[in-house]
Amino acid sequence: MTNDHSQVEHLYPGPVPPWQQAGAKFVWSPYTQMKTTPLPIPVAATEGVYLILPDGTRLIDGMASWWTACHGYNHPHILSMVMQQLQRMPHVMFGGVHHEPALRLASRLAAILPGDLDHVFFSDSGSVSVEVALKMAVQYWLNRGVTGRSKFLSFRHAYHGDTTGAMSVCDPINSMHSHFKGFLLEQFTRGVPHTAEEFAELDRFLRERSDTLAGVIIEPLIQGAGGMKFHPAESLARLRTLCDQHDVLLIADEIATGFGRTGTMFACEQASIVPDVMCVGKALTAGTMSLAATIATNRVFDAFWSDDPARALMHGPTFMANPLACAAANASLDLFESEGRFSRVPEIERRLAAGLESCRGLRGVVDVRTKGAVGVVQVAELHHVEQLRAAFVASGVWLRPFSDIVYTTPPLTISDAELTSLCDAIRAVMAQWATW
Ligand SMILES: Cc1ncc(COP(=O)(O)O)c(C=O)c1O
């Protein structure tokens, strides 16, 4: 079996619009071999859970634009708040400046985040928020006069972003480590522990290495782009206990899981833990703009609180706390308060589980699993990837299978009928794929 890219020239069956015809050769797409890739689908507009193509075709977005569009697209409340902010002040620097959208958002995040995660550092993307978390953890120890603690423990199948520090804590095998050996910092990797023996091994490791470790970083409950692997809340709770016992900082990367995806506002809530540092992004602005944040507890923040300027956190992205993005995030939090998103997630999970179950028997499918509003069909080997993507488009859904998984993270506003269409399309296309 091969990845037979050449069989698909365009994912979009309609006429290529002139702007795509003219501009395509000037853009470089993410994670893409530009020579062999088919032309991407042109999207002209969005609405609710739909991507609308230039010929009017509507695709259910089973990806919610990479986990972001939690309230669906073009929600009138978000549009209106962003529009008002656009007229008042699209942007102002955050160095030496405060503005209402950011301060309101910071205080609202502090109120909904677990425990005393009260100190919000804004940045412009998830990867950068991870960089900030790593720097915070390293400097935390230095500011306390402890030297030599600059390494991190992360987990197999982890994904924390594509910038250099973030890449160093991704799974070393299924990420880009092989491309960038010698360039990336060397970190420690273990499997996410489940069994008593695995916890005993982690306990031993932390005992031996805690004097070199700044922290442990984990995606709570769902490891996303590294393979859509799930772990129980209990693993997270025990990890928190071990980090406490060995005095190692725990960083929770909730960039994918935050804002309702697992059925609670943050996945950490299900394990009743408070990490020392948390990263959020993606659905923070409900898919309208790029914004992320790294949030620290009092304990971490206090290590930077000093009369000594050298103990300040030395980071400051140009577009940090962009007022438009903060207005979108505030509007999104309004919707979490006024529209029942969390009660909807268990129903989405139930329908995804039922709808995808019959993929289990298909040739090449090795697992089907769901957690919250995430559904995964895992295959032994993902062959004919481009044909598969094209077949999904032809069936009226937008999905982006990769690695060894076909997965969906639909908007939390998806209706029962739309979920049925999404699951029916996945089932039908996977049944075809199994014969290729
Ligand atoms: C868990 C996790 N961390 C970090 C990132 C990186 O975020 P961004 O793509 O906004 O840089 C992602 C993106 O997929 C993610 O899923």
Q: What is the pLDDT at residue 176?
A: 73
Give 403's contacts (C-beta < 8 A, 6+ positions apart): 174, 227, 382
How far apart are alpha carbons 304 and 293 in whole angstroms?
17
Q: How many residues does the chain have?
A: 436
Cα–Cα–Cα angle for 108, 305, 253, nearest 5°?
A: 50
The predicted structure's pLDDT at residue 100: 98
Q: At a CB cut-off of 8 Å and minimum separation 6, what does 162 contact? A: 127, 176
The residue whose C-alpha atom lies closest to atom 9 belonging to ligand 1 is 126
Distance CA 169, CA 153 (A): 7
Question: Ligand 1 centroid to 257 CA: how many Å?
Answer: 10
Residue 248 reports pLDDT greater than 70: yes
Per-residue pLDDT, averaged over 115-128, amounts to: 98
pLDDT of residue 181: 83
Ligand 1 neighbour 349 (Cβ under 6 A)? no
Cα(333)–Cα(283) distance, integer angstroms:
10
pLDDT at 5 over 50: no
Question: Can you tell me whether residue 419 is helix, strand or coil?
Answer: helix
Residue 191 has pLDDT above 70, yes or no: yes
Domains and CATH numbers, the chain: 5-71+341-433 (3.90.1150.10), 76-338 (3.40.640.10)
- CA 67 remoteness from chain centre: 6
Q: What is the pLDDT at residue 3? A: 43
Give the catalytic positions in this structure.
31, 159, 253, 282
Q: Give the residue carrying structure tokens 């490791």.
A: 205
Residue 266 clears pLDDT 70, i.e. is over it:
yes
Residue 179's pLDDT is 86
Say whether pLDDT at 7 is over 90.
no
Confidence of residue 2 (pLDDT cuts 50, 70, 90): very low
State the closest ligand 1 atom to the C-alpha of 292, by its place in the atom list counted from 1.
10
The two beta strands, 213-218 and 222-223, are: unpaired
Where residue 283 falls (left for φ over 0; alpha for ψ -120 to 50; beta otherwise) is alpha
At 166-182, the pLDDT tens digits run 999 999 887 777 788 88
Q: Using most ligand atoms within 8 A of CB, pick from 134, 159, 259 the residue to mutate for ligand 1.
A: 159
Beta bridge partners of 251: 217, 277
Mean per-residue pLDDT of the chain: 96
Mean pLDDT of 328-342: 96
What separation in Å is there between the alpha carbon of 309 and the centre of ligand 1? 31
- The neighbouring-strand residues paired with 249 are 215
Over residues 371-392, mean pLDDT:
97
58 pLDDT exceeds 80?
Answer: yes
Q: Is 158 in the pocket of ligand 1 (CB under 6 A)?
A: no
**Number of the ligand 1 atom closest to the C-alpha atom of 130:** 4
Measured from the Cα of 125, ligand 1's closest atom is: 10
Percent of the chain residues topping a pLDDT of 70: 98
* 68 in contact with ligand 1, CB cutoff 6 A: no
pLDDT for residue 145 is more than 90: yes
Of 135, 172, 168, 131, nearest in space to 150 by CA: 135
Rounded to the nearest angstrom, the distance between the alpha carbon of 35 and the centre of ligand 1 is 26
* Predicted TM-score (pTM) of this structure: 0.97
